[in-house]
């Protein structure tokens, strides 16, 4: 049983792993960070020190609390040091085979009651768990970057996961001050599945020369109310991350055209124009670069927002229809995981489900592509004059 005295292990000392460790130590847990890369461990130590100092300076935590967090956090290059852990969260490269090997190694070291979790954003929890002798103790615990600031955590039981264990982890992480949602083990879970059209439909509009990048971002911010436009956000996330998630979800859904990646984004990845981290992406971040002005045409802007939003709503409907998550958890996930201005199913009610369906039907009629097929649940609800709330 997990409690305040539980020892938390983290595999991987990168930004995500060290962020999760800080969250756990802040909640009062003895936390052990394991990494085979000594320089990465040293960097994680420095980052924690700097992060805690900033929090003290901003008077968000006391000096005593900062010292306590530091004292509770230890670093090791030996996996053996994780044997006393009650919960271990893996946060390493998004490669299924690498993760499976780590889980096999962990299982040979830890106690039989230790819970093993993966922070994967899109890989199969069931597949990772199948590499273990006790797959029932394996689940997904997916934090969002940066883990110290983003409130959402997706809890994902695999097919073999003990359901009570998933609820125990949910309760523990709720106690860390996070907002948890339960998701079925499907590609992308909730957020990375439902959010795909935010990027892919924006790219489609751009590829078809309906509007340029600046105009699409302007429309989604100023008319749609999103904090960032899709191209700004892709550049911030990095195309080495965002494109790979899109391609992974598309592949795992047996090449469903709704998730089809864009060649335009793939070419940026191939050019190593990864976004802000490389100073070039959809935008040019180099010194002296001139930003193209948005075409602030309200009619065009409303068309862009309506098209992307209806595609997002359709994906949220499908997520509900397939029992991946509840109505409330889908909306919580999108507002707390990617800062959408409203939950998509609540937004659907406000727009009118019939209006959403009409937009999707118009797109389908125009393109004759399965990409624009309306979710059966949306059709049924319009027919029955129902709403989500």
> What is the model's pTM?
0.94
* Predicted confidence band of residue 1 (pLDDT cuts 50, 70, 90): confident
Work out the average pLDDT over 35-64: 95
Claim to verify: residue 135 and residue 41 sit in the same structural domain: yes
Claim to verify: residue 177 and residue 203 sit in the same structural domain: no
Claim to verify: residue 290 and residue 154 sit in the same structural domain: no
Claim to verify: residue 141 and residue 275 sit in the same structural domain: no
* Residue 242 confidence (pLDDT): 94
Residue 197 sits in a domain whose CATH number is 1.10.1040.50
- The Cβ of residue 383 has, within 10 Å, a number of other Cβ atoms equal to 11
* Predicted confidence band of residue 338 (pLDDT cuts 50, 70, 90): very high
> Which token pair is 227?
């904090």
Over residues 17-26, the pLDDT tens digits come to 999 999 999 9
Element (DSSP H or E) covering residue 194? helix 191-194
Over residues 70-107, the pLDDT tens digits come to 999 999 999 999 999 999 999 999 899 999 999 999 99
Task: Report yes or no on 31 lying in a domain.
Answer: yes
Task: Report yes or no on 150 lying in a domain.
Answer: yes
* Residue 206 confidence (pLDDT): 98
Task: Report yes or no on 231 lying in a domain.
Answer: yes
Residues contacting residue 245 through CB under 8 Å, at least 6 positions apart: 121, 122, 188, 192
Integer Cα distance of 330 and 310 in angstroms: 15
Over residues 174-227, the pLDDT tens digits come to 999 999 999 999 999 999 999 999 999 999 999 999 999 999 999 999 999 999
What number of CA atoms fall less than 13 Å from residue 279's CA on the CB side? 4
Q: Residue 4 above 90 pLDDT? A: no
Integer Cα distance of 206 and 194 in angstroms: 20
> How confident is the prediction for the chain on average, in pLDDT?
96
DSSP symbol at 221: I
- Cite the active site residues: 121, 142, 154, 192
Share of the chain above pLDDT 70, in %: 100
Task: Report yes or no on 82 lying in a domain.
Answer: yes
Claim to verify: residue 16 and residue 134 sit in the same structural domain: yes
* Residue 128 confidence (pLDDT): 97
Integer Cα distance of 117 and 103 in angstroms: 9
Integer Cα distance of 271 and 194 in angstroms: 28
Tell me how far the alpha carbon of residue 2 is from its chain's centroid. Answer: 25
Claim to verify: residue 217 and residue 315 sit in the same structural domain: yes
Range of the domain at 116: 8-182
Over residues 235-263, the pLDDT tens digits come to 999 999 999 999 999 999 999 999 999 99
* Residue 291 confidence (pLDDT): 86
Total of domains in the chain = 2
Domain termination residue (choose one: 120, 148, 182): 182
Claim to verify: residue 353 and residue 261 sit in the same structural domain: yes
DSSP symbol at 220: I
Claim to verify: residue 221 and residue 339 sit in the same structural domain: yes
Task: Report yes or no on 187 lying in a domain.
Answer: no
């Amino acid at each position: 049983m997990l409690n305040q005295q539980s020892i938390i292990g983290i595999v991987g000392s990168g930004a995500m792993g060290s962020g999760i460790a800080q969250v756990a130590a802040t909640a009062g847990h003895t936390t052990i960070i394991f990494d085979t890369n000594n320089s990465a461990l040293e960097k994680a130590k420095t980052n924690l020190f700097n992060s805690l100092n900033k929090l003290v300076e901003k008077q968000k935590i006391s000096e005593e609390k900062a010292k306590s967090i530091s004292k509770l956090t230890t670093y090791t290059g030996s996996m053996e040091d994780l044997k006393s852990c009650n919960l271990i969260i893996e946060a390493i490269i998004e490669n299924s085979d690498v993760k499976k090997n780590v889980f096999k190694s962990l299982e040979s070291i830890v106690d039989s009651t230790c819970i093993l979790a993966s922070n994967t954003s899109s890989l199969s929890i069931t597949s990772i768990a199948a590499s273990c002798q006790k797959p029932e103790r394996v689940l997904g615990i997916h934090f969002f970057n940066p883990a110290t600031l983003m409130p959402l955590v997706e809890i994902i039981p695999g097919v073999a996961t003990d359901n009570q264990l998933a609820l125990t982890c949910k309760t523990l992480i709720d106690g860390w001050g996070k907002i948890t949602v339960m998701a079925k083990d499907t590609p992308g879970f909730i957020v990375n599945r439902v959010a795909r059209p935010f990027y892919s439909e924006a790219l489609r509009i751009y590829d078809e020369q309906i509007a340029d990048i600046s105009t699409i971002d302007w429309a989604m911010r100023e008319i749609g109310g999103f904090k960032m436009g899709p191209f700004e956000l892709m550049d911030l996330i990095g195309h080495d991350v965002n494109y790979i998630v899109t391609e992974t979800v598309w592949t795992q859904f047996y090449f469903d055209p709704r998730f089809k990646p864009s060649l335009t984004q793939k070419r940026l990845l191939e050019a190593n124009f990864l976004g802000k981290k490389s100073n070039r992406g959809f935008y040019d971040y180099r010194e002296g670069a001139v930003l193209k002005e948005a075409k602030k045409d309200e009619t065009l802007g409303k068309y862009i927002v309506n098209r992307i939003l209806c595609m997002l709503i359709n994906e949220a409907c499908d997520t509900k229809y397939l029992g991946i998550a509840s109505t409330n958890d889908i909306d919580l996930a999108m507002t707390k995981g990617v800062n959408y201005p409203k939950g998509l199913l609540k937004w659907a009610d406000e727009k009118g489900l019939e209006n959403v369906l009409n937009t999707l039907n118009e797109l389908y009629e125009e393109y004759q592509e399965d990409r624009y097929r309306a979710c059966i649940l949306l059709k049924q609800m319009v027919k029955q004059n129902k709403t989500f709330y």
